[in-house]
Each structure stands twice: as C-alpha cells, then as structure tokens.
With several copies, the nearest count.
Chain A
C-alpha cells in the first residue's frame, strides 16, 4: 500500500511538474478545440451540431497522446525494473499509474470540457451530461491506454502503435459518450448511454490491470 501511494504521489508530482502531464494535455485540448471554429467557420448552428463529437474526439486524442509516456519514462531510466521487483503486485502498480494518469489528465479534461462547450455554443442543458460522460469515459481511456502502453513498451513507433491499438477499442466509449451529450442536447434521455459507459468502465477496471501487468512483465524480460 505504501508503494501504491508512493507511485501515485510521484506520478502526480511529475504530471504537474513535467512535460507530458496535465498542462500539455489541457493545452492540447484547448488548442485543438479552438482550432475548429477557425477551420470550419463561426456559424453557431454548425458548431453546436458538432460540439459533442468534437469535444469527445479531442478529449480522446488528448488522453491518447499523453499515454505513450505512461510507462516509457520509467522504462527508459530503469525505474520500471525496480518497481516491478517490489512486493507490490504488478496489477496494483498498473492501477496506481492509471489512477495517477486519470487524475492528472482525465479529470482536468472533464472539468475543462464544459467551458470549451460554451465556445462551441453547446446549450447549457447538455453541460452536466458532457461532464458526467467524460467522468465515466476517461477512466476507460486511461485503463485501455495502460494496456496499450505496456504492450508497446520499448517498441519502435510506440505512439502510432498505441493509437492504432487503443482507438478501435476506445471507439465504443467515444460513440456512447458523444451520443449521451447529443441526446441531452436534443432533449432525449442521456441516462442509457451513461449507464453503458459506467458498465464499460467497470469491465475495464476488472480486465485491464491484469492484461497490462502481464505485458509489463514481458517488457522488462
């Protein structure tokens, strides 16, 4: 448990202090979303129509981009080998790192999204659902990403690999997440989509740490 907390703490510290952490992800998210009105033009109806999709898609990309460093830094500087030789179960190590990743990126993304929604003329009714859907969906991204990052560890072209691996698996999350917001926007019930998201999150929580831990053991061989 001490080790779990130590890893969590250090990763959060690094995310706030260093390159690929919170600020990069938030910066990317804000800028990526801001780029759209420039490219598409300012019409409010068009922007509002695509707002749920754009916000979710960019949140997905932002999370994806920060994932390739999830284990990479520890792997390169030799920390990972030491961490894996601890009495801590590798599954818990994965969980600690995924949790830190979510706290450092998913949560800020969920918090920032409603604000960006305003810029895309997303109606106020949809904001709580946007926030809720990201709150449920981003942990799945962190968990799936942990599996991908562990598999791609030490690989050449880790970033593409990760994207190519995680995206097909994350597609349902995106579809239901954006779907929930769109329902709310058009006055339909968002609850079913949100429930599905919650279910997916629970499944990911059960399966992903085990898979990622297996991949990690492979990687330090």
Chain B
C-alpha cells in the first residue's frame, strides 16, 4: 500500500469531539431486542474489536454508532454532548453492503464518493490508492470479483475525513494482502488521532485494541 503525502491521510482530522460514550445502551431490530446494558467509550486513537456469534448484534451496534439506529434504552453521546444522530460526518461506515453501482465503472463510483467526501479534484492519481484498484478504473463494478468489489468499497476510507471508522467485517472476501492493508490503514488512521470500531470473526488481535464480545446467545 502507499499512502503518499498530500493525500487525505496527511490532512488533520477533526478529533476534538471524542470520546463517544455509550451508557447502558439497549438496541432493538424490528420488535426484537438484540442486546442491552452495553457500556462503551470510543477514545481518540482507540480501536475496538467487536466479536460475537452470528446474529449477536455486531452490525446493529455499528449502525447505532453511525446514528442510523436510535438506542432503545440508555444513551449514546459524543464528547460535546450530541447524539450520533445529530452529528453526521463524524463517522464513516463500511458495511456488509458495498454502496457501489454495478452499472458504473470503478472510477465513476469512486469519483462520486470522493466528491461526496469533499475531494473536489479528480481523486486519481492525487489521492492514495491503498488497495490497488486503479488498474481496474474503467471496469464496470458488475464485472468485478467479490474481493475486488470489497477493495473498491474500502477505498472510500481514503477519501473520508470522518474521525470515526466503523468497519463491518472489513476483511471479508479479501486475500491475505488485502487483509493486511486493512489493518495497516486502521493503524495509520489511529496514528493521526482517529478511532475505529471493527467487527470481525478472525481470531488474531491488534496492538492496543480493546475487545468487546457481544451476547453469548445465538
């Protein structure tokens, strides 16, 4: 991977709103309660690894942190007293879904997200290309392999200026090299003051990471 100077990774991050604190939070999907009584503090430079069986509520937790779900109980608040919901642009979520349009090429898709994240000039070759998808620039996303799609989707992180990264099983479908890049990016992001909450089913751990294991029941 290559995170060159002059790329978004070299820009300062708006980290003053940390920590993001959850206190006795409960969450429901549909009518069913998924988890409850959760306490969590996400600090600047921090990393939480979220584990748990299938259906334990990992994805649900990330959506809560992104402000897409309201807690069914308890409180989730940023350091400046605002709920995740009311302060967008604070977190970037890369979920199970790729947020890519199959009909558009890789360059068109990434161009859109770059503009969305405020990178106004042509993102390439100025921005970094951590996952090496530049070679696929003209290929429509529908013709990509599963791992290639994920690489393109994760490249969005290189444009985002949000201090909090929410990554839902980011290493899914990636080969060994791709997985390594994910963890290197997370480390880089933490060094510049960002924080990350990452769900994973893999066993290894990461330097200075906190672990959260959700619901023992399946």
Contact = CB atoms under 8 A, between A and B. Distances in A.
B8 interface: no
B67 A14 contact: no
Contacts of B112: 6, 9-10
Interface stretch (B97-105, B129-137, B209-217): B97-105
Nearest to A85: B88
Interface residues of B, number: 26
- By secondary structure, the A interface counts as helix
Interface string A44-84: 00000000000000000000000000000100111101111
A125 interface: no
Contact of B89 (A9, A87, A156, A220): A87
Interface centre among B93, B98, B101, B120, by most chain A C-beta atoms within 10 angstroms, is B101
Interface centre among A13, A84, A85, by most chain B C-beta atoms within 10 angstroms, is A85
Contact of A78 (B67, B91, B95, B115): B95
- By secondary structure, the B interface counts as loop
Interface string A1-13: 0110111011001
A3 B68 contact: no
Contacts, number: 69
B203 to A, nearest CB: 27
Contact of A14 (B96, B99, B101): B101
Nearest to B160: A82
Interface string B72-92: 000000000000000011011
The 5 closest A-B pairs by CB, nearest first: A78-B97, A6-B115, A18-B103, A85-B88, A78-B99
29 contacts: A2-B118, A3-B115, A6-B115, A10-B101, A10-B104, A13-B104, A13-B108, A14-B104, A18-B101, A77-B97, A77-B98, A77-B100, A78-B95, A78-B97, A78-B98, A79-B101, A81-B63, A82-B92, A83-B116, A85-B68, A85-B88, A85-B89, A85-B91, A86-B89, A86-B116, A87-B88, A87-B89, A220-B68, A221-B70
Interface of B: 63, 66-70, 88-89, 91-93, 95-101, 103-104, 108, 112, 115-116, 118, 120
